[in-house]
Structure 1
Amino acid sequence: MLPPVDPVVLQRNPNFEVLYKDLCSRKLNPNGSTRDTKKQRVHDEIRKSLTTARTNLLASQILIDSLSDLPSKAAHLPPDLHPCIETVTAQLNGQVASSDREILSGDIALFLDALGPISAALSTQLNHTASLLCTIADPQHQISTTSLPAKATALQNEATHDLPHALAEAHVTLTTITSTLLATHLALLETSIRILEQTQHGALSRHAKSSAELVRARAQVLGLQAKMHALTHAPPAEYIAALKAFKKALGSGERALRDREGIARREMEVYEKAGGKGMRDLARRKEGLVREIERVEGEVGKLEVGRAK
């Protein structure tokens, strides 16, 4: 048997559905083996003969069993027929030896003479059994004994073909529903975890971020307000006078710096013209002057100390 296919797949692929049904109904046997038409026909004939033989055997067995139970269940049957019925039943079951058949020929003759009432009682018993089978076959609706073979065939087909196929389809549907349920459960868990992270673990960080964004927005608003105020309102006269005085002071300071720069440049030019020898001579002269100044300062200090004494 081929594995069941999801009905949705068959609906989306009509050609595959035709191929699948053809394989299941014509190309393959129920056990999954390849179907051979010629051998299948021979097997069907053998199966039909076997079914007929089994039916005849079961019918004979049912008649024998019903006949053996007839003395105890048919109350209107004459008591003198009970021994002959039991004898015939034993002979039909093979319980009577061939050597004893001649002795029991009288009972058999009596059975054949009373075949009419025995057949009527047996028919009544079989009709009662058939009515019980009808009740078992369909407990909710009373069916006739004539429709019992069709009902039995339908129940057999349902048990051997329809129910297994429906069970396979239900299994596929259940598998699909289970997969969808698991996917939904996974999405639910992910959403729950995300909600927990946002409500429990991310509250402080979101609060700090929101506060920083609020401060930034307020600073931008204040900056825009200051710019609008500066563009729409003229500065006061004191502020302008202070700016002019500051600009004038910057100008005089700039001129003084330029003068000092010129003096420094001229001194550098003098030093460059003096060369290395002149610079060394100036250094010796400076060193001598420094020593002379230190000597004079020392003598002055001694004189001041002596005067203080």
Structure 2
Amino acid sequence: MLPPVEDAVLQNNPGFAALYSTLSTAILNPDGTTKDDKSHMARQRDAARKELDTHRLVSAKHHLLAQAISAAVPRKSQSELQLPGSLLDLLLLLPPLLTGVGQPPAAARDVEVLHLLLANPPLSSLHAHMHDLASLVSSSLHSSAVQIARAAFPATDPSFTHRQVPSLARRIAELSSGLDPHADSLAAARLAATNSLTQLLQKQAEALLLLLRSLEAKHGPIARSLEHRAADVSLEAQLGQVNAETALWSVRKDVYSPEVREALVNYSAHLRDGRLRLRETMRTAEVKLQDYGVAIDGRAGDPRKERSLREAARAYRDTQRQIEDAQSDLSRLR
């Protein structure tokens, strides 16, 4: 499949993004093969793929046979006493020989050694034990197939798993056919998760940077310098206030001598006494006005009495004015 590319790389490189889009959509398949199936290289590739599949199939058969023979060797139990010794020797010697099948001989001496092994026991008795060997290998292969069927069909009852062995090839083909889309979706999901993680780390780095700036602004050298300056200004203001109060008391001491202060104290006492006398006079006048029927502070009075007294006061003023006029006339006549 094509290697995934991060979105940030494609966004930062528009030319590469266009090339990658062309390669992934118009030229190459999702598995990395070319879409031009008619080219000479495509035919060569198909032939090489078929040959590789053939060799892979042969190698898989040899591997399965070697594994089945290795698994057919009984462990140390009662079954070991029931098998002939030559058959046990064959079960132990055949897997290494089958593993080397298909590989070119390293030298002519290896070929001679192989022929010598096949011509001597226990390999020389291979045909005599072929039936027993085939039975053991068949049992081992069937046991392995049943285990694979249990994994391929997990919903099947374990007692009926052996019935699913014939459909293993079809089941494995179905699972293999659905593996590539899931692998592509998994790669896309991983790429999306990587991009999201990258963005998250960038946001976290920005948050840490803002936090550092905030801490620097609050507890850094500039903040401490401003704090010291503010404290210095506050101390200067307090010192100025103390100096002003000291100057005020000095001025008061210079302006007001002890005699002046004593006179001011006496004058203050005189004013206080005068204020008390004035209040007493006001209370006496209010009492007299109440006697005259005048309403004071919301208290009801006597309107008729007040009216008669006002008339008497006006008549008194008129009489007083007439007396003054008569006195002035008499003084002119003299």
Q: Calculate the TM-score normalised by the size of structure 2.
A: 0.40
Identify the structure with the greater helix proportion. 1
